[in-house]
Amino acid sequence: MNQPAQENEKRTISRFTLVLLVALCLLGALLRAVLLNIGLTLDDACTASVVEAQNLAEMVRRIKEYEMSPPLYFLALKGLVTMAGINSVTMALPSFIFGTLTIPLTYLLTLTMVGSKHDKQTEARACALLAAFFQAVSPLAIIYSHEARTYSLAGLLLSLVLLLYWQYFQGPVARLGAVMLFLAATALVYTHYTAIFYIGILMVLCLLYKDAEAKPSRAAAPALLPLALSLTTLIPWLPVLLYHKNVGTPWADPTPLSHFAHVMAGNLAAMMPLPVVPSYLLVLVSAAAGLLTLPFAVIKKMRGKAPLFRPQLNSAVSFKVMSALLIVLISCAAYGYITPYMFGYVRYLSPLVPLTSALLATLLLSVCKGKLRKIVLICLLPACLAGSFWEVRLLAEKDRSGLRQIAREISAGRYKDAVFYTAPDFVGMILDFYLKHDANLKAGQMPLVYGFTCPEAGTRPIKHEEDVAWCQVKDLNQLHQKLIDGAIEKGKTRLVLIRDTYKPTSKFMPVKELGDSFMQHLASRYTIETTGLYKGSAASYEVTVFKLKN
């Protein structure tokens, strides 16, 4: 083939690749846009409370006391809501933008990871497009592309940090490249605390890397400086970080280490581009198949007198894969021991979906060749797409929280002359958001709302240690009875108990037990007028109306 024909073919391939990438970005944007107005849950409401602060000092105080994250995301969101106002859509919009931008970044991440030598450009682009597809349809990535939380931004920044970090395995890096790595890594550590852990892994790998050609100019050690400097920028934030560390997670008891296999499989499954239950079963089947074939691989290696495992520490591609793989595997092994949730603390794993998308695409195209590759892709791609549409439909068919409908009914006057109790306490924070920003009630129109442990929780957020202290108060029902008696004196004729159907409990915060006791206390004194269930795709609520006066 002559030179002009080769150039035309390359341009045609590039245009086709660009068209496919744009189509994948549009697909991902569509799947995410459908969820923009499905509303908020607990953590989003906490974010709203933070960005409602009137000045920077008050905002930092609220981040310290009510949040468990650094401030960058909240500052970005504050800028948006200052211009556009606070509502469910504006709260979700930044995560939607960050999540959509991560799709083309996943393409670049994968292309850089697998290499793009001239004789393998087509294969590398196919792998990168497959990874971008996985990122576009990943249920976990989609879910956290609408929540008003740090995770979507963290995923974008982690991918950018890896792209800039991998420059050091390709050749000498200009000063501008080092500055960009420093800025991206600094932004990442100011977005989520897990970044400290990720950057530590990258710094260790810098020391292990050895260039195949033994050229000092291509050593990865220079990446240590911008990465280390990014960590030092956290020094001004260190008091808040230590405060967050000391608070811990009193709302949940630690998961026993004996659950390791379950936690590991659940975390891996959550990051797959399929719904989590099929992914969980697929991970278990794959792990079982791997264990069954391992003895045969060992025997084969032993007969050949070759080491079972020989990492290519002088291969740039191998080191790129290793850096992504280590972050994923260590995270899957570690996250999940601070909560009792079935699939671990998967929200912390959502920023890693670009990495798992890149690794999965690379694995599939490396292992599957010829007809097998076609069969696997023909089966897998429609399954991923169908699963994504199914998950999005389930999320979009109703509000995220049943509290949105309750707030609208309160504003419509259904619960006149009523005092409200929310259980657990944080339910009041979500209800407060919907009353103010969805039902648009003014200060004088807000109902009387109490938290079922801390009374003030119905109208404001409370610190984690404050909630723990209230949960340890003796004779809590008698304390609230005094508040109820006071509400009766003010003319309240009904008590509306709004209780989350999910009833968590822990050593320090026995929410379920306290809630059951409060419910029994009310039922022993007052007549139940009506009951109802308000369903949401993420949180549903039981509403019990008690008559305070006959």
Structural domain for 437, as ranges: 403-547
Give the pLDDT confidence score for residue 76 in this predicted structure: 95
- Cα–Cα distances in angstroms (integers) from residue 473 to residues 452, 459, 469, 508, in the given order: 12, 20, 7, 12
Give the C-alpha separation, 446 to 337, whole Å: 40
Check whether residue 392 and residue 408 sit in a common domain: no
3-class secondary-structure state, position 292? helix
Give the C-alpha separation, 508 to 477, whole Å: 18
Check whether residue 133 and residue 254 sit in a common domain: yes
Structure tokens at 355: 């990495």
Domain count, the chain: 2
Taking Cα atoms as reference points, which of 103, 107, 381 lies closest to residue 373?
Answer: 381
217 band by pLDDT with thresholds 50, 70 and 90: very low
Give the pLDDT confidence score for residue 256 in this predicted structure: 82
Check whether residue 135 and residue 284 sit in a common domain: yes
Residue 236 has pLDDT above 90, yes or no: yes
Mean pLDDT of 367-395: 91
Check whether residue 379 and residue 473 sit in a common domain: no
248 band by pLDDT with thresholds 50, 70 and 90: confident
Q: Quick: pLDDT tens for 332-376.
A: 888 877 554 444 468 889 999 999 999 999 999 888 888 888 898
Mean pLDDT of 211-217: 49
Boundary residue ending a domain (381, 396, 411): 396
Give the C-alpha separation, 538 to 129, whole Å: 32
Burial class (CB in 10 A: 0-12, 13-18, 19+), 416: exposed
Check whether residue 334 and residue 288 sit in a common domain: yes
Boundary residue ending a domain (338, 370, 396): 396
Length of the chain: 550
Give the C-alpha separation, 40 to 93, whole Å: 12
Strand partners, 497: 421, 544
Percentage above 70 pLDDT, the chain: 89
Give the pLDDT confidence score for residue 118 in this predicted structure: 44
Give the pLDDT confidence score for residue 56 in this predicted structure: 92
Give the C-alpha separation, 390 to 241, whole Å: 39
305 band by pLDDT with thresholds 50, 70 and 90: low
Check whether residue 253 and residue 355 sit in a common domain: yes
Check whether residue 425 and residue 370 sit in a common domain: no
Residue ranges in 190-308 assigned as alpha helix (H)? 194-208, 224-232, 238-247, 260-270, 276-303
Give the pLDDT confidence score for residue 171 in this predicted structure: 75
Check whether residue 460 and residue 387 sit in a common domain: no
Boundary residue ending a domain (396, 416, 431): 396
For residue 519, give the amino acid letter.
M
End-to-end CA distance of the chain: 94
Check whether residue 57 and residue 172 sit in a common domain: yes
Check whether residue 318 and residue 287 sit in a common domain: yes
Residue 44 has pLDDT above 50, yes or no: yes
Structure tokens at 206: 């810098």
Check whether residue 365 and residue 434 sit in a common domain: no
Give the pLDDT confidence score for residue 308 in this predicted structure: 44
Check whether residue 409 and residue 276 sit in a common domain: no
The answer for residues whose C-beta is within 8 angstroms of residue 75's C-beta and 6 or more apart is 59
Q: Quick: pLDDT tens for 468-516.
A: 999 988 889 999 999 999 999 999 999 999 999 988 888 889 999 999 9
Give the pLDDT confidence score for residue 309 in this predicted structure: 43
